[in-house]
Amino acid sequence: MTRRNNDQNENSNTEEVANPGRRSFLGATATVGALGVTGGTGTALMMGGSGDAKAAEGAQSTHVPLGELDDYYGFWSGGHSGEVRVFGVPSMREIMRIPVFNYCSATGWGMTNESKRIMGDSNKYTNGDAHHPHLSFTDGSHDGRYLYINDKAHSRVARIRLDIFKTDAMVTIPNIQAVHGLRLQKAPKTGYVFANGEFPIPQPNDGRDMENTDKYWTLWTAVDGEKMEVAWQVMVDGNLDNMDADYTGKYAAATCYNSEKATSLAGMQRAERDWVVVFNIERIEKAVENGDYTTIGDSDVPVVDGRKGSDVTRYVPIPKNPHGCNTSTDGKYFICAGKLSPTASMVDISKLDDLFADKLDDPRDVIAGEPELGLGPLHTTYDGRGNAYTTLFIDSQIVKWNMEKAVRHYNGEDVDYIVQKLDVHYQPGHNHATLAESKDADGKWLFSLNKFSKDRFLPVGPLHPENDQMIDISGEEMKLVHDTPTFAEPHDTVIVTRDMINTKQVWERDDPFFAETAKMAKEDGITLESDDKVIRDGNKVRVYMTSVAPNFGITEFKVKSGDEVTVVITNLDSVADVTHGFCMIGHGAAMEISPQQTSSITFTAGSPGVYWYYCNWFCHALHMEMSGRMLVEPADA
Ligand code: CUK
Ligand code: CUA
Ligand code: CA
């Protein structure tokens, strides 16, 4: 086995040297029509060589001894799988998956009544596209209450409760298409959840102005992170890609790659500079307070005009189709990666008061530095020691650079700000270091979320996994230590120390997650903690039962074909980890019932006959026997 793997590696390395190589091949593919640059990728290839086959010497260990716990929780977005995944860092053991915008066969997410209530109308969509997971803040530190995440596919924002690791709220943002960039207010607390509407559309989008792209607009949205309701929106010029907020609660900034408002690839690259738009949150709130807003279509959300010339925004030109926007953890800069420019633009947050007071001659006066980093810079993360780390998509590298030196260089000093370039495999999108979205960045581990994994893993057919590589950044030199294959497609991650998260091992009986179901039971005169009872209400049948390993409280019930059947199960087991399931054969109904949880699911009884139901979470030596039968009689019987 080992021998074969080595051979494969050798072959691909030989191939790499003989040919222009896969690094430049991928680079070229990824930039077809986007950039006339391939020269730089050749250089990267030479630097890469074959020395990357083993983990670097002298690096921090990723090994977590058996039975011991990881130091960090890592929350990974699951991209267009629509879910969130939880990894232990540094072991990179996948601990849990949290369904959010997807349907989940194991837990019943999307199918249970509890999850349907949370998803609301958007339950009709079985897919989602989760990009940016972010943990709530108090005073610039993570507070472990919530994780928020966007859905690009259906313009949603969801919240995950971190005491139970379940999605508990979801809101569809009006007047926009595609929530892409999502970031949180860091101070005084979250507070607002800010969401970028990516694609400009006619306003309202009801069939008018379809041919007239001059009349397309998009909006920046603030969601109240407690109530999970849209607070207000700001109409902007161009489009919105990624964003971040500052550490004071005053400002946020978003990149725009389509200042041209073009509908073609060529059109979106016409301008040498697009911009970063800076939002003045206080002024927006004041405008809303003063009634200085409009509404769009059926929505009653206040929309403040933030287009050029408005008081609530400023547009700072930066090169070219910029992408990532990441606030440095010292609170000084919004750093916007140039994507089609080899630069990153450092917006000096301390100059924004002057910018909004119109005291600067040129909005570009807020740029404190614009270091040249390499080809295809996308996202930046930090170590809390003055260094920034930017992914170079086309070069397939992480570049470590010193922020202070980059500023000095911009001011004319002859100083080298590049510390190191490290090859990654291949084509990184986001990167993220431990605690690096908060003022507590500890500079221990960095992850490079690579879009391509060609030849790093056993082949599994034409669809390849992504490769999330782990890099030790605790020393002066970045050291690559681990490859983690991941399924479609983590864009971003957030990694926090384990003491920041406090979870419940068993549900509280009065948890709001199933409060609506408890209310229904009460109206039916049912005590969920003890009753096993079938209630008929016209052609609606509600089956209330308890479960205690390895028994369902009801092992036989009768309904009529076509009845709307709701099964409500309360798991009376209170021992941690004794989760039961309910799966009704032939009815597309399955759900999780964890200790002390009440879960419910509704389905239509099929054609007459016997249908077994069974527990589908292994719970007991007699788990196989934990079953029952639904007897479906003819409708007219
Ligand atoms: S985006 Cu995916 S690599 Cu959605 Cu944060 Cu940049
Ligand atoms: Cu109960 Cu398996
Ligand atoms: Ca552009």
Tell me what pLDDT residue 58 has. Answer: 83
Domain of residue 195, residue span: 135-427+446-457
CATH number at 553 reads 2.60.40.420
Of 155, 244, 430, the residue with max ligand 1 atoms within 8 A of its CB, to mutate for a pocket test, comes to 430
Q: Answer yes or no: are the C-beta atoms of 48 and 38 closer than 8 Å.
A: no
Tell me what pLDDT residue 637 has. Answer: 60
CA atoms of 429 and 471, how far apart (whole Å): 15
Over its C-alpha atoms, the chain yields an Rg (Å, rounded) of 27
| 544 lies in some domain | yes
Of 468, 492, 494, the residue with max ligand 1 atoms within 8 A of its CB, to mutate for a pocket test, comes to 492
The stretches in the chain having pLDDT less than 70 are 1-55, 637
Whether the link from the prior residue into 426 is cis, omega within 30° of 0, is yes
Same domain, 350 and 262: yes
Atom of ligand 1 nearest to the CA of 132: 5
| 378 lies in some domain | yes
User: Whole-model pTM?
Assistant: 0.92
**Which residue, judged by its Cα, is nearest atom 1 of ligand 2?**
580
Ligand 1, pocket residues at CB < 6 Å: 131-132, 180, 242, 323-324, 378-379, 429-430, 491-492
Same domain, 223 and 350: yes
Tokens of 322: 């910029």
- Identify the nearest ligand to the CA of 618 by its number: 2
CATH number at 204 reads 2.130.10.10
Same domain, 282 and 406: yes
Tell me what pLDDT residue 50 has. Answer: 39
Number of domains the chain is built from: 2
Residue 261 CA to ligand 3 centre (angstroms): 8
CA atoms of 432 and 325, how far apart (whole Å): 13
Count the Cβ atoms, other than its own, within 10 Å of residue 367.
Answer: 21
Q: Which residues of 291-308 are buried (b: 16+ CB within 10 A; e: fewer)?
A: eebeebeeeebbbbbbee
- In tens, the pLDDT along 220-270 reads 999 999 999 999 999 999 999 999 999 999 999 999 999 999 999 999 999
| 77 lies in some domain | no
Tell me what pLDDT residue 55 has. Answer: 63
Say whether 614 counts as a known binding-site residue: no
Say whether 180 counts as a known binding-site residue: yes
| 140 lies in some domain | yes
Ligand 2, pocket residues at CB < 6 Å: 549-550, 580, 615, 617-620, 623, 626
For the chain, the residue count is 637
Tell me what pLDDT residue 38 has. Answer: 37
Same domain, 450 and 524: no
Tell me what pLDDT residue 17 has. Answer: 36
